[in-house]
Every structure is written in C-alpha cells, then in structure tokens.
Copies of this chain bind each other. A is one copy, B any other.
Amino acid sequence: MLKRVKRKSGHVTLSDVARACQLSVSTVSIVLSHAPLSLRLAAATRERIHATAMRLGYHPDAYARSLRNRSTKTVGVLAYDMSDPFCVPVVRGIEEGLLPANYFSLLMDAQTERRLFDSSLRMILERRAEGVIVIASWVFEEANLLADVEKNHVPIIIVGRDLTERRIPSFLVDNQAGGALAMNHLLSLGHRRIAVIRGPEDLFDSEPRWKGVQLAANRAGVHLDPRLVLSLSNRVDPISGFDGGLQLAREMVSSAPGFTAILAFDDLTALGVVRGLKKEGLRVPEDCSVIGFDDILPAAVSTPGITTIRQPLHKMGSLATQRLLEALQKADRANLSAATPDMLAPELVVRDSSAPPPTKARSRSASAALRHAPVSTPRSTPNKP
C-alpha cells in the first residue's frame, strides 16, 4: 500500500514522480519533457524516471505547461452546427491539417444558437487558442466578440462565408460558378423548363448561387418562369431545407406543372424535393430530374443518388488550416487579413437523379408541360458562348 498524502486533485504530478524517484522536480522535468539537458543525465537515471512515470501513470499537465511556455498549440474551431452534415468534412479537413503540425483543435459547436456562438468564442479565447477557424454558413450578427479576438491578437479565418469586408481571410466555394454548373448540367441534358428552389434569405450562399443559375440560363437563352422560382424560408435548423424542398416541390407541381427538372438550393432540399415529387406521383429522374448542392453523405447514399455540385469541404478546411498555420509560424503573430476571398472551384457530381427530360410521348410530366406551359423559345443573347 502506498502511503497516500491527502491530495487536492487526483492527478499524478511531476513532484509525485520526483518523490518516488528521490530526485528533484527539475531533473524529472528535464527527462520527461525531453529537454536538451536530458542528454547530460545518467542513462540509468533517465531510465528510472521513465519507468516510474509510466508506473504511476504520469501525464504532464497541459495547463501548467502552456502557462509556463506561453504556447497552447491549440486552434479553436467554431462550427455553426455539427449536426449539419456540411460541417463534418470541414472539421475533418481542419483536423487533418492540424495534426501533422502538432496542433490541437478545440472544437466548439454553436448549435445554430447565437448565444452559444458567443459563449463558444469566449471559451476559445479563454482557453488561449492561438488561432480561430470559424465555420459559418448563416449570416451571424456583428459579433463584438470578433473585436476581442483582434484585441488579443488571435488570427482568425472563416470558412463557408465571405468576410473579407472585415478583412478576415475567407475560404468558400465559388457559389456563383456552382449555380451555373448546376444549371448548365440540366441544360446540357436538354431541360428547358426548369424549376429553381432558392436558398433562404438569411443564408449568405443563396444570392450568389441564384446569380450563377440566372447567368447560365440567360446565356443559354432559357427563360425562368417566376412561378417556378421559389425560396426556402429562413432556416431554424440545418435540416429544415428538407421540409422546405418537400413542400415547395408539391406546390409547384400543383400550381405550375410541366417542368422537367428542379434545381434545389442544397442537398437536403433536393432530398425533400425527391420525396415531394414521389408524393405527387412523379418519378426521379424519369419524370423530373433533381440536382442539389454540397454533396453531403445523405445525397450519396439515397436512391437515386442525388446529382449535385460538390463543395470541396475537406479541402476548404485544410486550406484554411494551412493558411492559419503559416500565420502562426511567423513570430510576429500579425493579425491575418485578406482583401479577397479564396473561392474554391465546385465540382459537378453526376448521379442518378438527373437524366434527359422525358420524351413528350410517354411522360406524365411532359404532357402536363404541354398542357399548361409550352417550352420557352430559345433566344440568342449577346453573351459569348
């Protein structure tokens, strides 16, 4: 039985090891932290110290160590909502970037709550993260905490949203290019009467994506029927897009049928659309094609697999990390700043939810189209091809 001194915390400390070895704390520290001095120590002593530390289950106190070293090797990661499948690959990308640099991620989940966003950021600051990566998709208010981040000279980077207006380096997908990519895919399959479900207003991505969609349509001389352009309402939680897509798809089928494809704001919306179309008796892709955006897991594993525009989420995370680490490398720790966002190229992923439009003869959708709304006549535009 060990004689057990009344202890404050249950943790084994350096001095516990030192006592057990009959050596000073300094010596033990030198050995266990592999300081250069340890080479000057008798090999036998080193051995004894290591053995004892292992036997007692010693683990250095990161808090004391960081205090002394003035370095925490920690990067705060503030995700807006970990239950959004969007966040997961980004976080993974960040962690994989951090690992080889021996940095450690302090992951906070804001759960789409403003209050939590603030307290998480405060936490990150208090825990002395050397840098912060924010994964933000919804438009968060001018958090005055961001000012505190700057006052404390903590470099910050944002993923998924453009905040270069505040000179914060931003990594995001090129939404406009993505919107165009999606539209062009449908056009190239031969679709002309295309419904669009735009994102909610409070989401940064909505506008540029829609712009890309319009641009591509205009360029091809395809008219977008206003009755077939609806918007999701502001989201309350990450998967509300599903219900939105389901609802809006059904509405469109009854109010303005005859479209042969739906371009949805994101994958969850697209999945909702598929469900809605099914309820209305339409098959995907035979009667109506569907395309999403993001390429999250559910899009890949549902049947039919959802054709979508992939955001390089993993890459966004790892690039942001790269950038942050570079800044941390520099001794001066100057605040990062950037004038233009880093826009990553989206990528079309063709799965089974998109196909050429039904031939008029045998499709329910196409016959409806003929009945209510003739295919718009292509117009040539001044744009280059």
Contact = CB atoms under 8 A, between A and B. Distances in A.
Contact of A70 (B9, B127, B275): B9
A271 B302 contact: yes
Interface string A106-117: 110101000000
A48 interface: no
Nearest to A109: B95
Contact of A59 (B82, B152, B242): B152
A152 B10 contact: yes
A12 to B, nearest CB: 6
A51 to B, nearest CB: 15
A247 interface: no
Given A67-B64, A82-B88, A89-B83, A303 B271 contact: yes
Interface residues of A, number: 59
A9 B127 CA distance: 13
Contacts of A305: 275
Interface string A152-192: 11100000000000000000000000000000000000000
Contacts of A278: 303-304
A333 interface: yes
A254 to B, nearest CB: 19
Interface string A65-97: 011001010000000001101001101100100
B301 A301 contact: no
A77 to B, nearest CB: 10
Contacts of A91: 82, 109
Interface of A: 8-12, 56-57, 59-64, 66-67, 70, 72, 82-83, 85, 88-89, 91-92, 95, 104, 106-107, 109, 111, 122-123, 125-128, 147-148, 150-154, 239, 242, 268, 271-272, 274-275, 278, 297-298, 301-305, 333
Q: Across chains A and B, which 6 residue pairs bring their CB atoms closest together, nearest first? A: A10-B153, A57-B151, A302-B302, A298-B298, A57-B148, A62-B126
27 contacts: A9-B70, A11-B128, A11-B152, A11-B153, A12-B152, A57-B148, A57-B152, A63-B63, A63-B64, A63-B66, A63-B67, A63-B128, A82-B91, A82-B92, A85-B85, A88-B88, A92-B109, A92-B111, A106-B106, A107-B109, A268-B301, A271-B302, A274-B303, A297-B298, A298-B298, A298-B301, A298-B302
